[in-house]
Amino acid sequence: DIQMTQSPSSLSASVGDRVTITCRASQSISKFLNWYQHKSGEAPRLLISAASNLQGGVPARFTGRGAGTDFTLTISSLQPEDFATYYCQQSLNSYTFGQGTRLEIK
Amino acid sequence: EVRLVESGGALTQPGGSLRLSCVASGFTFSSFDMHWVRQAPGQALEWVSALGGGGDTYYSDSVKGRFTISRENAKNSLFLQMDSLRAGDTAVYFCVRGNYYDSGRGLIDAFDFWGRGTMLTVSS
């Protein structure tokens, strides 16, 4: 099984900050990596597919990079609506999510 | 507008059975793979099961042999029959649409629309 490890598990930041979340796969997954945003009580939202492809309607302040085993999600200037939990997911071999990164307001 | 609405979650005893339902709207249901993903309290998301448009079924090791995924395309509905339930199955269950995206090196699948989920609690 492919394991996905995210860091940090939680992060406190302020509106306007630049933040980066890291996701590491236990083996190479090429670009089979997606990022999701989840706010409690709501439906999760697909932000980025194939490591770097921004979904329609997702603000350009979200950027995904990486290939192989190491990936990042960067939010260039945090907005109030960005405080949520973020998950990476591999889809090369079945589907595995990272443990999540909870982004909180400082 | 794509909508996925789950129902059927409840409190049930260990060893019991339950059937979750999901009604889809806003897209051609029969053309898409559909999935169930769950989230136990305070835990990460966990993929549970998938059903392709062609009828192929897939399960996580944790539910294989106990859960059965099915669909009724005429009613735009997805189901998850859950038997031999355990405390560890307690979670919010999300109905999810799968889609394929070009990575530049081939197609990659991702979960592009999710429902809000339905809560299953397995407890005596």
Mean pLDDT of chain A: 96
- Give B56-74 pLDDT, tens digit per residue: 999 999 999 999 999 999 9
pLDDT band per the 50, 70, 90 thresholds, residue B105: confident
Q: Cβ atoms within 10 A of the Cβ of A8, count?
A: 13
List the single best residue of A6, A30, A46, A86 to mutate versus B (max B Cβ within 10 A): A46
Q: What percent of chain A has pLDDT over 90?
A: 96
Q: What is the pLDDT of residue A10?
A: 97
- Look up residue A66 and give its amino acid: G
Element (H, E) at B3: strand B3-7
Residue B111 β-bridge partners: B98
Asked whether residue B106 carries a pLDDT value surpassing 90, the answer given is no
Joined together, the tokens standing for residue A77 give 């200037």
Q: What is the 3-state secondary structure (H, E, C) of A51-86?
A: CCEECCCCCCCEEEEEECCEEEEEECCCCHHHCCEE
Mean pLDDT over B97-116 rounds to 92
Instruction: Identify the burial level of A2 via C-beta atoms within 10 angstroms of its C-beta, where 0-12 means exposed, 13-18 middle and 19 or more buried.
Output: middle
pLDDT at residue B104 is higher than 90: no
Rounded mean pLDDT of chain B?
Answer: 96
Inter-chain touch B108–A32, beta carbons under 8 Å: yes
Q: Residues 43 to 82 of A: which have CB under 8 A from any B CB? A: 43-46, 49-51, 53, 55
pLDDT in tens, A23-71: 999 999 999 999 999 999 999 999 999 999 999 999 999 999 999 999 9
Judging by DSSP bridges, how do beta strands A10-13 and A101-105 pair with one another?
A: parallel
Average pLDDT over residues B10-36: 97
